[in-house]
Each structure stands twice: as C-alpha cells, then as structure tokens.
C-alpha cells in the first residue's frame, strides 16, 4: 500500500484538485513548481536555518514520567508547543512563505480556526515584510481573542467570516474567494493538509520535520528510531501528518488520530468527520466530509476552534480507509479533562486541540514497554478563558 500522494494528486481514492477555473492557474503553478523549489539546496538551507534559529527547532522529545506512571506505559511528548508562536503551525508557514517569495508573490492570505495558523502566518509575513490578510470565523474571533490581538500586533489584517457556521470552514471559503479575486500577486498559505493538490502533500512535507526529529531523538533515548505508537489530534490533520510522515511505511508503528467528537457523535453537535462523514468534495479536495444525504456540508461543532471543521485531509481519509491509521473521536468533555490532567501532572497546559490527543490515553490501553509518542501540537495560553470557565 502506498501512503504518499501519487502523480495525479491522490491518496488512494482521496485528494485531487476540484477547483473552479479561476483558481486553476495559481494551483497549477504551485503543482508544477513546489517540488523543484522545495528540493533546491538554497531553499532547504534557508528553511532549515529559520527552523533552527527562529523557530527554535529541534523541539524536545520529552519523556513524561508522571503521565507514564499514571497510564503504565512509556509516554514521550513531542514539544511543538515550545516552537516560536506556540504550535506546529509555524513549520508550514515558514516553508510556504519562502516558496511564495520564490513564486514572486507579494501578498499572503490565510484562513485560521484557533488562530495559531493565523499567528504563524502573520509572524512569517512580518519577518519577510509581506502584506498579510487572515480570514477567521466570527465565532472563533470571539473564542480565541488573544490570537486575534497577536495577529493585529504583528501587522496582519484580520477579516471576520460571517457566513455559515462562522468558523474554520467559512474562513476557508472566504480565503478561497479572496484568492479568486486576486489571481496574480497573492499566495494562499493553507494551514493544514487540506485543499486542492498539491497543498496536502506540500504541507505534510513541511510538517514532516516533526517525525524526522522523533526518529533521531528516539534513537538516542530508546536505541531504536521508531515508536510503537504515534498519537496526534486531527483537525485538517497537519500536525498528525507531520508526526506520522516518516513512519507511514513502517507497519510496526501504530498511527492514532484523535478527532473532535464535540458533544458526542450522536448529538448532532460534533466534528468527528471520519465517524460521521462520507466521501465528497470540499475546498478543492475529494475526502471524507460531514454532509447531508443531499450533499450539503453539515456545520460542525467542537469546543476546539482548530478541530471545528467538517472535513479532513485526504491523507487521513486514506489512512482510515485502508485501516493504516486508527481514529478515535474525543468529546469536548473528555478533551477538557485530559487538558486539565496534563496541566497538573506534567506542568504543561496544552491547547484544547492537543488535549484531544491526550484523551486517547483513557480510550486505549498500552503495554508497559510500549513507546508512545504524543504530538503536543500547541500550548494552551490561547485557551485559558475556555479552560477556566469550563464546568468539569
């Protein structure tokens, strides 16, 4: 089985580029050039240097002793929360902004849910002196206030998306419309492994630094370069794609994703795409999505803005379809409790998105000697209000 993207832009039956003609020239230009650009030595040097000196990579792989004792297994945390701007998102925005410069684009747009991708985009635009517009759902602007202020301070313009569910899906719609209306001077930095080909593959490549480092770090700490399990939360799926990437073909490594179950998958208020969705087309990609029998996209719900999305990257749809990956849905309540527990056990407040990954520990039992790596995709500073006001 092949888990990487094929020539035509598909992962099994998922992927492709289902876009109106107005987007075709931009997406086609990217498709033609992304691999050549990414593989240029000068690009790689600039990318690696920024990841090292600016982002602070490699991020530590931390053995979480107290959590390991609690769950009777060996738990390592991949500390993406310690990156500059506080999440894995910056790995991708650094890569894409360098690419955008080589494509001669002067303006950058992005969508954001939790605001982490928006902040990471605003940050690299400040760094490169590029104009930046971030679309964000009205609901998310209210629940991720600190990140909105950060984006503004960094010089980005934050535009509220007021249609539909006023969350990540709608912010993505608005960003795509903006790109249609600005076809020549603008690059769209998509924040996850979603969208038309080549975005899912391109973003996965930029995020793959996560699993490349895990391999090296485990070699030192465990004497072997792979874990028994990698666990990550999945919104669009970029931190999961990065954490899985170099283990996709190693069947000894179990790949586990945590989707946002919201109030429960039968509640009608959920974002558990793989549990509830079926194959369809959204945002340029054939993937699994939550939809009515008439093919209208269902408005999702999650307490976590970053996971509040009715679709999922085509790579993950394929991993689920082929059973290479196992995906669990985690309710709001399970995630919030896991977030609190990690805070008190390890002294680390995770983003609510990431807290979904930790809740897997209550769903699945691991062996004492299993090496379990959890991708700690981001920190919870942005979520303090939600954590503090939650009725546990």
Partner 1 sequence: MIQNRLTKLFQTSQQNILTIYFTAGFPQLRDTQRILEALEQSGADIIEIGMPFSDPIADGEVIQMSNQQALENGMTIAKMFEQIANFRQKIKIPVLLMGYLNPVLQFGMERFCQTAAQVGIDGFILPDLPLNEYLSDYKSLWDAHNLSNVFLITPQTPESRIRMIDEVSEGFIYAVSTSSTTGKTSAISASQTAYFARLQALNLKNPFLIGFGISDKASFRQACTHARGAIIGSAFIKMLQNSQDLPVDIANFVQKIKS
Ligand X SMILES: Cc1ncc(COP(=O)(O)O)c(C=O)c1O
- Beta carbons within 10 angstroms of residue 39's beta carbon: 10
Binding of partner 1 by 103 (CB under 8 A): no
Name which position in 1, 13, 25, 145 contacts partner 1 (CB under 8 A).
25
Q: Which is nearer to ligand X, 27 or 81 (CB)?
A: 81
Contacts of residue 243, defined as CB under 8 A and 6 or more positions apart, other chains included, come to 78, 207, 210, 211, 214, 230, 232, 373, 375
Binding of partner 1 by 104 (CB under 8 A): no
The answer to whether 212 touches 48, Cβ cutoff 8 Å, is no
Give me the sheet containing 61-63, strands edge to edge: 61-63, 74-79, 371-376, 229-233, 254-262, 325-331
- Residue 158, contacted partner among partner 1, ligand X, none, CB below 5-8 A by kind: none
Binding of partner 1 by 7 (CB under 8 A): no
- Residue 351, contacted partner among ligand X, partner 1, none, CB below 5-8 A by kind: ligand X
Binding of partner 1 by 54 (CB under 8 A): no
Closest CA to 229 of 131, 360, 122, 113: 360
- Report the relative pairing of strands 61-63 and 74-79 from DSSP bridges: antiparallel
Question: Phi-psi category of 104—alpha, beta or left, where left has phi over 0 and alpha has psi -120 to 50?
Answer: left
Name which position in 2, 22, 35, 103 contacts partner 1 (CB under 8 A).
22
Pick the catalytic residue from 74, 78, 80, 89: 89
Spatial separation of the C-alpha atoms in residues 200 and 82, rounded to whole Å? 24
Name which position in 113, 284, 325, 378 contacts partner 1 (CB under 8 A).
284
The answer to whether 242 touches 90, Cβ cutoff 8 Å, is no
DSSP string, 325-352: EEEEEEEHHHHHHHHHHHHHHHS--B-H
Binding of partner 1 by 177 (CB under 8 A): yes
Pick the catalytic residue from 80, 111, 174, 213: 111
- Residue 114, contacted partner among partner 1, ligand X, none, CB below 5-8 A by kind: ligand X
Q: Which is nearer to partner 1, 284 or 339 (CB)?
A: 284
Q: Which is nearer to partner 1, 59 or 173 (CB)?
A: 173
Name which position in 12, 24, 43, 107 contacts partner 1 (CB under 8 A).
24
111 given a catalytic annotation: yes
Binding of partner 1 by 181 (CB under 8 A): yes
The residue ranges of DSSP E strands in the chain, in sequence order, are 10-11, 14-15, 61-63, 74-79, 107-112, 131-137, 157-161, 186-188, 229-233, 254-262, 278-282, 285-289, 325-331, 371-376
- Residue 353, contacted partner among partner 1, ligand X, none, CB below 5-8 A by kind: ligand X
Task: Indicate the helix (H) or strand (E) that contains 185.
Answer: none
Q: Which is nearer to ligand X, 236 or 280 (CB)?
A: 236
Binding of partner 1 by 164 (CB under 8 A): yes
Long-range CB contact pairs, 152-156, < 8 A, 24+: 154/119, 154/122, 154/123, 154/125, 154/126, 155/122, 155/125, 155/126, 156/118, 156/121, 156/122, 156/125, 156/132
CB of 71 to partner 1, least distance (A): 40
The answer to whether 83 touches 60, Cβ cutoff 8 Å, is no
CB of 239 to partner 1, least distance (A): 24
CB of 16 to partner 1, least distance (A): 7
Residues 333-392 contacting partner 1, CB under 8 A: none
CB of 289 to partner 1, least distance (A): 8
Name which position in 5, 11, 14, 16 contacts partner 1 (CB under 8 A).
16
Query: Which residues would be at the binding site for ligand X (CB under 6 A)?
Result: 87, 113-114, 116-117, 192, 233-240, 306-307, 351, 353-354, 377-378
Task: List residues binding partner 1 (CB under 8 A).
Answer: 16-22, 24-25, 163-164, 169, 173, 176-177, 180-181, 183-184, 280-284, 291, 293-297
Report, as residue numbers or ranges, the catalytic residues. Answer: 89, 111, 377
């Amino acid at each position: 089985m092949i888990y990487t993207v094929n020539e035509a832009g598909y992962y099994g039956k998922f992927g492709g580029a289902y876009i109106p003609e107005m987007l075709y020239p931009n997406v086609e230009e990217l498709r033609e050039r992304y691999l050549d650009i990414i593989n240029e030595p000068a690009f790689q040097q600039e990318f690696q240097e920024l990841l090292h000196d600016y982002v602070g990579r490699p991020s530590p792989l931390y053995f979480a002793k107290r959590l390991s004792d609690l769950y009777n297994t060996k738990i390592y945390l991949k500390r993406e929360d310690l990156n500059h701007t506080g999440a894995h998102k910056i790995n991708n925005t650094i890569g894409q902004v360098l690419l955008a410069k080589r494509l001669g684009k002067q303006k950058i747009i992005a969508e954001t849910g939790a605001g982490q991708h928006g902040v990471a985009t605003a940050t690299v635009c400040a760094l490169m002196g590029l104009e930046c517009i971030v679309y964000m759902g009205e609901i998310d602007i209210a629940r991720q206030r600190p990140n909105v202020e950060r984006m503004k301070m960094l010089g980005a313009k934050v535009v509220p998306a007021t249609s539909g569910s006023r969350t990540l899906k709608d912010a993505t719609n608005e960003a795509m419309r903006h790109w249609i209306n600005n076809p020549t001077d603008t690059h769209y930095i998509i924040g996850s492994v979603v969208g038309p080909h080549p975005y899912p593959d391109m973003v996965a490549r930029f995020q793959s630094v996560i699993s490349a480092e895990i391999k090296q770090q485990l070699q030192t700490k465990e004497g072997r370069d792979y874990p028994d399990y990698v666990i990550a939360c999945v919104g669009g799926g970029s931190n999961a794609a990065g954490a899985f990437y170099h283990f996709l073909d190693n069947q000894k490594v179990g790949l586990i994703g945590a989707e946002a179950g919201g109030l429960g998958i039968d509640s009608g208020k959920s974002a558990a795409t793989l549990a509830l969705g079926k194959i369809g087309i959204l945002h340029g990609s054939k993937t699994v999505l939550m939809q009515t029998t008439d093919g209208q996209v269902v408005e999702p719900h999650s307490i976590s803005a970053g996971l509040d999305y009715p679709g999922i990257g085509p790579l993950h749809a394929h991993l689920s379809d082929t059973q290479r990956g196992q995906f669990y849905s985690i309710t709001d309540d399970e995630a919030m409790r896991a977030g609190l527990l990690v805070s008190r056990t390890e002294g680390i407040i995770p983003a609510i998105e990431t807290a979904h990954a930790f809740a897997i520990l209550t769903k699945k039992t691991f062996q004492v000697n299993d090496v379990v790596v959890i991708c700690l995709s981001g920190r919870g500073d942005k979520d303090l209000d939600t954590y503090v006001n939650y009725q546990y």
